[in-house]
Amino acid sequence: MDFALTEEQTLVRDMAREFATKELLPRATRHDRDGKLDAALFPMMAELGLWGLTVPEEYGGTALGNLALAIVLEELNWACAATGVTVSVHNSLMCAPLVKFGSDEQKSTWLPKLASGEVIGAYSLSEASSGSDAASLRASAELDGGEWVLNGTKLWVTTGNEAGLFLVYVRTDSEAPNARGISAFLVPRDTPGFSIGKSEKKTGLRGSSTTELILENVRLPESTILGEVNRGFPIAMDTLDGGRIGIGAQSVGIGRACLDASIKYSNEREQFQRPIGHFQAIQWKLADMSSRLDAARLMVRRAAWLRDRREPCNREAAQAKLLASTTANYCADECLQIHGGAGYTDDFHVERLFRDARITEIYEGATDIQRIVIARSLLKA
């Protein structure tokens, strides 16, 4: 077993780390306060190939794969989780399923635009009444004159305000059991009847938009369905196996930012005539944060490595997300505690890390859902 990164992975990590340090970190507080990302970042990320990490070279991507994506995402999220989730969703929840399940026409139409960052991708599964129970979704499509007509309202769409292409899951067979009557549609933003609804005002991750999608008689040809009609739910689940690795990597990045801030403050802050890092109570916190983060990073990378080998990674991705997201929240909590009252103000970015970490236990399958996925896999093994 070799834990070392390859030369290519080392290069991509260093590139992402430099970009995160120079370009993202100085903007992260502004993203949080403005409620949007600086548009100047999008072409910069295109220049670095960050929009096409899961796209084959023939379509303009870098095809570096899921492990490289996880490595990049840790670096981006260390600096700015709002930017990190945008890159994660685009690569894992739009490009990856399009590569895996798309027709030649769908791939040649969209992948070059996605890989270059000309079009940003978003994924839309959830609705007001279907979150954890994703298969109970109600937005629907009916055939009319050879076209599908979509109606309904989707919710919790990450990057809704910026995306140009949406992977939207709707019910195409109302008679079939829940998971057997859903199809995945590729919906361009400018399709008549398709609009973006309200943007959520969130506790954290404020620089990343989270919106409603409104479908009002959106007419689409059959050729916009990804994969087979009524077989969209397994695509949604397979896609989330990849997405959960991305959120695991995001969690490790946020957690590492918490550890770095804690180490710095522990060396600088003096109480009782010495730096607080001299106290064992603080040392134990740092040791536990570091150990848990290392374990989470290894699990994230193992799941990504399996996915790159096209081996099943459903349980491993859920385990990685479960451990990494709970670790991110543990680190954020301890980091704020080490900073004391100062950490509770917006003079330090620690309070943003605390708010940003929270979502990692909720989206792309809440912590309890990861436990269901893991337990089901154990019980059927």
Q: Which residues of the shown chain bind ligand CAA in the complex (CB under 6 A)?
A: 85, 89, 123, 125-126, 132-135, 156, 158, 179-180, 233-234, 237-238, 240-241, 314, 363-365, 369, 372-373
In the bound state with ligand CAA, the residue whose beta carbon lies nearer, of 56 and 234, is: 234
Q: How far is the CB of 179 from ligand CAA (least distance, A)?
A: 4
Q: How far is the CB of 97 from ligand CAA (least distance, A)?
A: 11
Q: Give the H/E segment covering residue 259.
A: helix 232-268
Residue 160, helix vs strand vs coil:
coil
Q: How far is the CB of 315 from ligand CAA (least distance, A)?
A: 9
Q: How far is the CB of 7 from ligand CAA (least distance, A)?
A: 31
Contacts of 190 (CB under 8 A, 6+ apart): none
Q: How far is the CB of 160 from ligand CAA (least distance, A)?
A: 10
Please return the burial class of 25, using the count of CB atoms within 10 Å of its CB with bins 0-12, 13-18 and 19+: middle
Whether the Cβ atoms of residue 268 and residue 278 lie closer than 8 Å to each other = no
Whether the Cβ atoms of residue 319 and residue 370 lie closer than 8 Å to each other = yes
Please name the residue ranges forming H helices in 62-155.
65-79, 81-88, 96-101, 104-115
In the bound state with ligand CAA, the residue whose beta carbon lies nearer, of 238 and 316, is: 238
CA distance 354 to 359: 10
Q: How far lies 320's CA from each of 6, 220, 240, 343, in Å?
A: 22, 37, 13, 28
In the bound state with ligand CAA, the residue whose beta carbon lies nearer, of 96 and 261, is: 96
In the bound state with ligand CAA, the residue whose beta carbon lies nearer, of 140 and 262, is: 140
In the bound state with ligand CAA, the residue whose beta carbon lies nearer, of 111 and 134, is: 134
CA distance 66 to 308: 6
Q: Which of 75, 212, 334, 364 is catalytic?
A: 364
Residue 58 bears catalytic tag:
no
* DSSP conformation class of 178: G
Bridge partners (DSSP) listed for residue 127: 130
Residues forming the active site: 364
